[in-house]
Amino acid sequence: MTELIKTENLGRHFGEIRAVDGISFSASRGEVLGFLGPNGAGKSTTMKLLTGFLTPSFGTATVGGYDIISQSRQVRSCLGYLPENAPLYGDMEVADFLKFVCEIRKIAPSDRKRAIDTATQRAGLAEVLSQRIETLSKGYRRRVGLAQALVHDPEILILDEPTDGLDPNQKHDVRELISTLAKDKCILLSTHILEEVEEVCSRIVIISRGKIVADGTADELRTRTESHGVVKMRLAGAEAQRLTQSVAAVSGVRDVAVSTANDEVLLQVTPHNGDFSIHGLVERVLAEHCEIRDLSVERGHLDEVFRAITETVDTSGRP
């Protein structure tokens, strides 16, 4: 896989504030990398470093194979960027604004119509093309920002909270668009919405206080949760105390909790990581002459991971 974004110990300080504090990660074509973190974690600052809007205090990064400091112009031409507060020209009509972006992006005049049509259609802007930007709702402005990031069909997209301000239907559309675009692009998006990363991102980097605190797929991150792998059973005909002792002796079991409801027993088994086998557990339960009425295995929730490794406090004003 070709690495289209690569950072090494990238950092940016604002006086005392270590906004980005030595971040290393990479992303390849076909990947949608989700940058997840609480407010003030350093997501936007990292994106501004990658897109040449800020210079790093230390560390290096390449985008599309170009160095963000010495080849900043090439970097900017190979990426599309949706900033957090996309600077749009309020008194321009949407169509004129996109034409203007085509000029800046040096798209050949003969290709401009097609470029604008494609971006307009992708961002769902057809019905507002002749409207002045300042008269648009927040959701539509966000989509204009998205269209401007897409107009030159860049290989790399850096999207800062792309669904911010959109209603649920619009969020759904933008997520679908991102998934469609992902096939032959490398997309870095930031969000603090967990369902968004689960839905569209192939990999998640969690960032907190300027540092990366986790990097993996949603499934990999879920394995870190307390509830991951917990087995729950609803049983009939069980004798609670005997069942508890019997199940506790199964290899790999860390904890057993039993409660009774009506004539049923609810069994909750927490395994150790490693040598636990659910077959062994089920065999033992059946040997107690119980009827298993329901069985589920918890996958774990991303919000558990998120809460456990980031702080829930708002760090946007952190020193």
Ligand X SMILES: Nc1ncnc2c1ncn2[C@@H]1O[C@H](COP(=O)(O)OP(=O)(O)O)[C@@H](O)[C@H]1O
Could you identify the residue written with the tokens 């860390």? 254
Each residue 96-125 as x (binds ligand X by CB under 6 A) or -, in order, gives: ------------------------------
Please, which residues have CB within 8 angstroms of residue 228's CB and are 6 or more apart in sequence?
Answer: 222, 298, 299, 300
Helices 94-104/109-123 angle, 10° precision: 130
Handedness of CA 75, 68, 43, 228 (dihedral sign): positive
Indicate the residue among 112 and 211 with the shorter CB distance to ligand X.
Answer: 211
Query: Quick one: what does residue 37 bind among Mg ion, ligand X, none, with the CB cut-off 5 to 8 Å set by partner type?
Result: ligand X
Beta bridge partners of residue 271, listed in sequence order: 253
Rounded to a whole number of angstroms, the minimum distance from the CB of residue 97 to ligand X is 25
Indicate the residue among 150 and 189 with the shorter CB distance to Mg ion.
Answer: 189
Distance CA 143, CA 138 (A): 9
Which residue of 4, 21, 40, 44 would you call a contact of Mg ion, by CB under 5 A?
44
Rounded to a whole number of angstroms, the minimum distance from the CB of residue 39 to Mg ion is 7
Rounded to a whole number of angstroms, the minimum distance from the CB of residue 15 to ligand X is 7
Which residue of 4, 5, 10, 19 would you call a contact of ligand X, by CB under 6 A?
19
Indicate the residue among 45 and 120 with the shorter CB distance to ligand X.
Answer: 45
Distance CA 147, CA 94 (A): 10
Interface with ligand X includes 14 (CB under 6 A)? yes
Query: Quick one: what does residue 17 bind among ligand X, Mg ion, none, with the CB cut-off 5 to 8 Å set by partner type?
Result: ligand X
Stretch that binds Mg ion, among 39-47, 67-75, 125-133, 257-265 (CB under 5 A): 39-47
Interface with Mg ion includes 120 (CB under 5 A)? no
Question: Are the C-beta atoms of 231 and 296 separated by less than 8 Å?
Answer: yes
Rounded to a whole number of angstroms, the minimum distance from the CB of residue 41 to ligand X is 4
Stretch that binds ligand X, among 87-95, 139-147, 236-244, 310-318 (CB under 6 A): 310-318
Interface with ligand X includes 17 (CB under 6 A)? yes
Rounded to a whole number of angstroms, the minimum distance from the CB of residue 64 to ligand X is 22
**87-to-53, 84, 100, 101, 130 alpha-carbon distances in Å:** 13, 9, 13, 12, 19
Distance CA 315, CA 319 (A): 9
Stretch that binds Mg ion, among 77-85, 97-105, 196-204, 258-266 (CB under 5 A): 77-85
Query: Quick one: what does residue 163 bind among ligand X, Mg ion, none, with the CB cut-off 5 to 8 Å set by partner type?
Result: none
- DSSP assignment, residue 272? P
Rounded to a whole number of angstroms, the minimum distance from the CB of residue 17 to ligand X is 5
Nearest Cα to 132, choosing from 86, 81, 88?
A: 88
Indicate the residue among 41 and 253 with the shorter CB distance to ligand X.
Answer: 41
**116-to-102, 112, 271 alpha-carbon distances in Å:** 8, 6, 55
Residues 25-44 that bind ligand X (CB under 6 A): 37, 39-44
Neighbours of 21 (CB within 10 A): 20
Distance CA 40, CA 30 (A): 28
Binding site for Mg ion (CB under 5 A): 43-44, 84
Binding site for ligand X (CB under 6 A): 14, 17, 19, 37, 39-45, 316-318
